[in-house]
Amino acid sequence: MKLIAATGIFLITITAANADEFSEVMESATELYGEGDIAGAKQELSYAIKLLDQIKSESLSKYLPDALPGWEKQDSDDEGTGMAIAMFGGGTSAAAKYTNESGNLTITLVANSPMVGSIAAMVTGLTSMGGGRPIRIQRTQFGNNDGELQGVVDNRVLISVTGDASVESKKAYLEEMDFQALRDF
C-alpha cells in the first residue's frame, strides 16, 4: 500500500511536469488498482517496465560510435535487439549497423545481463583454445572467432562486432568507442 501511495505521489509530480506515455501508463495502473482491478494494474505495470527498458536501451545506444568516413550508420531495430537480449537472460541492449561499399558490420552492446560475466570467461578461453591471439583495445581483451570480435568491458557490458567487414575495420570502430564511459553505464 505504501508503494502505491508513493507511486501516486511520484505520478502526480511527473504528470504535472511531463505527460509522457510512461506517466500515463503508471496513472492507469494506479487507477485500476484503486478500482480493485489488480490484474489490470499488474498488466499496466508490466508494460511500464517495458517502456523503462526501452528508455534504458536508448541511453545505451549513445555509446555506439558514429560512422567512420566512407561508412553509413543505421540504428538497429528494437525487435532484433530484443531477441538478442532474451538469449542473454535479460539486461539492456543496443545495436547499430555500419555499411560501406566493401562490407558491413554490426556492433551490439549488452549490459547488465547475468550472462555477460560468463561470456567474458568464454571469450578468453576460446581465444586461447583456438590458438588465436587475443586483440586488446583500450585495455579490454577481445576474442576473434572467425572475424567476429567479442569482448566484455568491466564484466558488465558485452561488445560484439559481426559482419563481413575486415577485422581492421571492426577494430577501428572499437577504438572509436568510449570504454571508460561504458564502465559507468
pLDDT digits (tens, 9 = 90+) for 124-157: 565 555 556 778 999 999 988 888 999 999 888 9
122 and 138 within one domain: yes
pLDDT at 17: 39
| Per-residue model confidence as pLDDT tens digits over 1-16 | 444 544 554 444 443 4
Cell numbers for 36? 480493485
15 and 68 within one domain: no
The β-bridge relationship of strands 135-137 and 157-162 is: unpaired
79 and 135 within one domain: yes
- Last residue within a domain, chosen from 33, 59, 85: 59
Domain boundaries, position 6 = 2-59
- Which residue has better confidence, 32 or 122? 32
Query: Residue 96, Cα to own-chain centre: how many angstroms?
Result: 11
| Per-residue model confidence as pLDDT tens digits over 35-64 | 999 999 999 998 988 888 778 777 898 999
13 and 31 within one domain: yes
- Total domains, the chain: 2
94 and 168 within one domain: yes
Sheet with 92-100, side-by-side order of all strands: 72-75, 92-100, 103-111, 157-162, 148-153, 140-145, 135-137
Cell numbers for 95? 545495436
pLDDT at 128: 53
71 and 51 within one domain: no
Domain containing residue 169: CATH number: 3.30.200
Mean pLDDT confidence for 99-114: 91
94 and 46 within one domain: no
Any idea what the Cα angle at residue 85 is, between residues 108 and 58, rounded to 5°? 60
- Last residue within a domain, chosen from 35, 59, 83: 59
Distance CA 168, CA 174 (A): 10
pLDDT at 80: 47
136 pairs with which residues across the strands?
141
- pTM (predicted TM-score): 0.69
